[in-house]
Amino acid sequence: MLDFSLFLVPVDPEEFLETPLGERVCFNATSTEEVERNSLCIVHVKEYRNHTNAVVGAMDFRKELYALYPHQNGKSKLYDLGDLNPGERVEDTYFALQTLVAELVKINCIPIIVGGSMDLMHALSVGYEITEQLINLCAVDERLNLGQPEDSISSKGYLSSLLLRRPCYLFNHATVGVQPNRNPPQEMALYDKLFFDVCKLGAFTSDFRLAEPHLRNADIIGMNLDAVKASERQLKEGNPNGFTLEQFCRIAKYAGISDKLSCFGVFNPMNENSYDAALVAHTLWYFMEGIEERKGDFPVGSKKDYLRFTVVMENEFKELIFYKSNKTDRWWMEVPYPSTESSRFERHHLVPCDKLDYDNAMNNELPDLWWRTYQKLG
């Protein structure tokens, strides 16, 4: 049991109790013992010290969020656990957040982290080490966040520190919305050598289906508001290119629909910008809508509800095996792993994919996603 008062400042619910969504929120949980299993838990984190351009202040996303109308068929219980204020050192904030995430994951609750900068993805990941399972991260960001091994953790570089941890539980990292002109070429090359996955902004704009498998494959998804076009956020400075608001919210919904995802974050809001508060609120609303539309079609255990396709290849791999869900028409492909590592890699040998990957295999083209996964499993 974790006592929330150790890390969190509770929210005064008075102004939200009569709002459409606010009246359904539980504001007064004092420990994990009072939180129902399989619930959604919002935490506002005010840690921006490792973000060079942050503007620290009060962001009233709750006022915007709880004024929205709830989902008609909403079944998931929603808790607002309060604010996690910065510790004396940034590392203290990381420790508090990873401890909180670990305890919520234990009871199958989904932490929804709001605010703070992208370096908090490091703390979220460390919180999962309690599971002793390899995990997948996905960042919706214009940057790769790789960083240099000798650098300290920052909003532009948290991946290197995760890769250097021993034991290392990071299996894969995907970035959706990458803009090559905002990333050093050597970092792009290293990211590729690590067999991590990229969906560039241009590819995403042309075909959203290219991003969906990466979202469906992630345990943790962090969405960076800096990846939204500055004009869309009504900012005079910032990213001149990027996602539209509609695209950003669409990604959030698909993140929620994924059965595998168990932690979600929205980072880097400009705190004095009321428009950002509304954008955060709508992003969270669509994420929660996705949660309510989950179909439970991740193919674990029996595969009797899936169509199995075997594609004979004219190369060293002989054949590729695909599965298609009868519930949602979504696709997975099977990637073999060493028999001696069966328990370590079991969660990762079925990889979400698109029908396009199956079509390519039918044309004797080895899907890039299959190859990258095979290299990591080997």
DSSP string, 333-360: EE----GGGHHHHGGGSEEEE-HHHHHH
Q: What is the pLDDT of residue 237?
A: 81
Question: Has residue 150 got a pLDDT over 80?
Answer: no
Nearest to 83 by CA among 45, 140, 42: 45
What are the tens digits of pLDDT across the range 276-296? 999 999 999 999 999 999 988
What are the tens digits of pLDDT across the range 237-276? 888 999 999 999 999 999 999 999 999 999 988 766 678 9
Question: Residues 183-192: what's their mean pLDDT?
Answer: 93
**Domain residue limits, the chain:** 4-292, 306-377
Q: What is the DSSP string of 20-32?
A: TTGGGEE----BG
What lies within 8 Å, CB to CB, of 55 at 6+ separation is 270, 271, 272
Contact at 8 Å (CB) between 307 and 326? yes
Q: What is the pLDDT of residue 332?
A: 94
Q: What is the pLDDT of residue 73?
A: 79
Question: Residues 17-36: what's their mean pLDDT?
Answer: 94
Q: What are phi and psi of 224, to 5 degrees?
A: -100, 120
Structure tokens at 206: 């042309």
Question: Has residue 45 got a pLDDT over 60?
Answer: yes
Measured CA to CA, the distance from residue 157 to residue 295 in angstroms comes to 35
Q: Write down the mean pLDDT value for the chain.
A: 90
* Class of the CATH domain delimited by 4-292: alpha beta
What lies within 8 Å, CB to CB, of 315 at 6+ separation is 364, 366
Q: Where are the alpha helices (DSSP H) in 67-166?
A: 90-106, 120-127, 159-163
Structure tokens at 60: 């009233």
Measured CA to CA, the distance from residue 222 to residue 124 in angstroms comes to 10
The pLDDT-based confidence of 52 (bands split at 50, 70, 90) is low
Measured CA to CA, the distance from residue 241 to residue 243 in angstroms comes to 7
Q: Of all residues in the chain, what percent carry a pLDDT higher than 70?
A: 94
Angle at 125 between CA 123 and CA 131, to 5 degrees: 125
**The most confident of 52-56, 96-100, 115-119, 318-322, by mean pLDDT:** 96-100
Q: Of all residues in the chain, what percent carry a pLDDT higher than 90?
A: 69
The pLDDT-based confidence of 48 (bands split at 50, 70, 90) is confident
The pLDDT-based confidence of 343 (bands split at 50, 70, 90) is low
pTM of the full predicted structure? 0.94
Question: Has residue 342 got a pLDDT over 90?
Answer: no
Q: What is the pLDDT of residue 376?
A: 86
Q: What is the pLDDT of residue 202?
A: 95
The 3-state DSSP class for residue 209 equals helix
Q: What is the pLDDT of residue 77?
A: 95
The pLDDT-based confidence of 346 (bands split at 50, 70, 90) is confident
